[in-house]
Amino acid sequence: MIRLSKSYWLTNVRLENGFTYQENETINGTATQIYNVKVENGKIASIILKNEPITDGIPQHDVNGLLMIPSFKEMHIHIDKTYYGGPWKACMPAYNGVRTRIEEEQILLPQLLPTAKERAEKMLDLLLSYGSTHVRTHCNVDPVIGLKNLEATIEALEGYKDKLSYEIVAFPQHGLLRSNSVGLIKEAMRNGANFVGGVDPATIDENIERSLETIMDIAVESNAGIDVHLHDPDHLGLFTMQRLAALTEEAGWQGRVTVSHASGLADLSVVEATSIAERFAELGISITSTVPIFRTIPIPLLHEKGVKVELGNDSLTDHWSPFGMGDNLEKVGRLAERFRMIEEKSLANSLQFITGGKTPLNNKGEKVWPQIGDEANIVLVEASCSAEAVARRAKRAAVIFRGNIVSGSISTLETTNI
């Protein structure tokens, strides 16, 4: 990490100013201008046009016209469970679906434990290098590994606390009820986990109502948010989501619940998907997707109805999947490609799916980011605008978290390394 002085100027920063239009009012590009941006105590303190004089004597770092965009959020990953950083290993065929994978974990988790922290760190380095400065990680809490993965995860993340912010979901991978993990999850919540996790109350726990109620009880007891893995298909998934929504409302847990994957949404009619989307929007239940190629959920529809949708890599090579690059810009590029967002505005807007909702321009093309007082969580990219950054998977030159360079470098910035 390159710790910069408490206040400094980034000079020659490219910021987006608005869209450009052709005669018939179709948007055909993005207008940008070069600014000088002052960072103070980890926050954006001043934004002035390049030709306005800088009168103070604080250090200046020239970024040579690189585009500044908000840094990314990796909202669904398992940093405790990866082969990344170790030797290559393909997956074995899963003859019994998810259950095969859970069986594999009986042997695999203890095997991986000694290198868990090291592998998690390598993964965090990779995520940072691509521009993510926030990570929500699910962490196995199960009878096989107990709280040991949680300990390794916390240890790894604590070492990165100046480079990124994080949330930890206590994840009963082997089934909250199925593997009698209620006590363990509660213990995890007392020992550093911030979210109560869950997985397929029907298929894994075989008791939808009791599984969901237990999740909610633990969340209320620990005053924590919820993030449930729901792979269950079609109406089974929909039903589970409807029940989760009802329990969320009952408990007054609005704005504190996330459904990960929500795969069932991929199988529903527009009418059915719309009704659950409206319900989720009303209750502030968000959805996290990995944008699977094969069964993609209707993300534009969810977004349009007001559901907060965020993206994650899930895994980067583990016993579930050998794929995954850890690049959230690639991830949102896939989302855009999948849903045919090919023109300037939809490409530019798509960035919000990986920034916690932030985009430099709002829907009307007005400049809304960065604002004075915003945390200086920034990616400097080699692109002329956000739309290009998404479509062309722009190179990331430097990543800044709370004012410090946490990945990459800019030649002039290196000189102030302390």
Partner 1 sequence: MEQSYWLLNVTLDDGFIFEDGKIIGTKTELYNLYINNGVIDTIQLAEIPIDSTKTSVHDAGNLLALPAFKEMHNHLDKTYLGLPWKSCIPAANLIERLNLEAKELAELASTGQHRAEQMLQLLLKGGATHVRTHVNIDPYIGLKNLEEIQKALETFEGKMTHEIVAFPQHGLLRTNSSSLMRQAMNEGATIVGGLDPGGVDLNIEASLHEMMDIAVEFNADIDIHIHDPGHLGFYTIQKLTSLIEDARWNNRVSLSHAFALGDVPIEKSREMASILANLGVSVMSTVPINRVMPPVDLLHDYGVHVALGCDGFYDSWSPYGTGDMLEKVGRLAERYKWIDEYSLSQSLQFITGGVKTLDKDGKRLWPNVGDEASMVLVEASCSAEAVARRVNRNAVISHGRLAYGGLVVESALK
Q: Which residues bind partner 1 (CB under 8 A)?
A: 26, 28-29, 87-93, 293-294, 296, 317, 321-323, 325, 333-334, 336-340, 342-344, 347, 383-385, 387-388, 391-393
Distance (Å, rounded) from C-alpha 171 to C-alpha 4?
37
Nearest residue to 115 via CA among 158, 147, 83: 83
Closer residue to partner 1, CB minimum distance, 207 or 296? 296
Question: What residues contact residue 1 under an 8 Å CB cut-off, 6+ apart?
Answer: 162, 163, 404, 405, 406
Closer residue to partner 1, CB minimum distance, 32 or 222? 32
Shortest Cβ 304–partner 1 spacing (Å): 17
Closer residue to partner 1, CB minimum distance, 53 or 93? 93
Closer residue to partner 1, CB minimum distance, 85 or 192? 85
Closer residue to partner 1, CB minimum distance, 193 or 341? 341
What type of residue is 144? V
Closer residue to partner 1, CB minimum distance, 375 or 388? 388
Shortest Cβ 183–partner 1 spacing (Å): 34
Closer residue to partner 1, CB minimum distance, 286 or 315? 315
In terms of phi and psi (left: phi > 0; alpha: psi -120 to 50; beta: otherwise), the region of 306 is: left
Transcribe 252-274 into DSSP letters: T-TT-EEEE--GGGGGS-HHHHH
Shortest Cβ 121–partner 1 spacing (Å): 18
Closer residue to partner 1, CB minimum distance, 348 or 376? 348
Closer residue to partner 1, CB minimum distance, 210 or 395? 395
Shortest Cβ 56–partner 1 spacing (Å): 34
Question: What residues contact residue 125 under an 8 Å CB cut-off, 6+ apart?
Answer: 407
Shortest Cβ 87–partner 1 spacing (Å): 7
Cα atoms found within 13 Å of the Cα of residue 184, Cβ hemisphere only: 27
Shortest Cβ 321–partner 1 spacing (Å): 6
> CA quadruple 373, 70, 306, 257: dihedral positive or negative?
negative
Distance (Å, rounded) from C-alpha 364 to C-alpha 24?
17
Exposure pattern of 255-268 as b/e (b: 16+ CB <10 Å)? Answer: ebbbbbbbbbbbbb
Q: Structure tokens of 343?
A: 């023109």
Interhelix angle 148-158/116-129, rounded to 10 degrees, is 40
Q: Could you give the C-alpha distances from 100 to 194, 264, 319, in angstroms and in order?
A: 28, 21, 10
Transcribe 202-258 into DSSP letters: TTTTS-HHHHHHHHHHHHHHHT-EEEEE----HHHHHHHHHHHHHHHHHHT-TT-EE
Shortest Cβ 378–partner 1 spacing (Å): 20
Shortest Cβ 293–partner 1 spacing (Å): 5
Longest dimension (CA), the chain: 68
What type of residue is 93? P
Shortest Cβ 223–partner 1 spacing (Å): 39
Shortest Cβ 342–partner 1 spacing (Å): 4
Closer residue to partner 1, CB minimum distance, 91 or 202? 91
